[in-house]
Amino acid sequence: MTNDIFEKEKIRLTPENGFDLVGIDYFADSDNQLYFVEHFEMYQDALNAKKKRKNSEEYFVLYKDGSGQYFYR
């Protein structure tokens, strides 16, 4: 996935509040490789859900910080 496409997908899937668990579908076309899994109000809950996944490296948490910047972990 190119950085430009990744950035667009990341922005599209980032919630205004809270934290979204997002997965990567390596077999989808390059514009739709990221998909929503679940929304959480607390970061720790999202992180725990990620860790429980079979291939946790194929998931990450999207969120905005207080200044409106987009982040993922």
Please write the tens of the pLDDT for every residue from 21-73. 999 988 887 778 899 999 999 999 999 999 999 998 899 999 998 888 888 88
Distance, CA of 9 to CA of 56 (rounded, Å): 19
Say whether pLDDT at 1 is over 70: no
Phi, psi of 13 (to 5 degrees): -95, -5
Distance, CA of 35 to CA of 24 (rounded, Å): 6
Say whether pLDDT at 2 is over 60: no
What pLDDT does 44 receive? 97
Look up residue 34 and give its two tokens.
Answer: 């990221």
Say whether pLDDT at 12 is over 80: yes
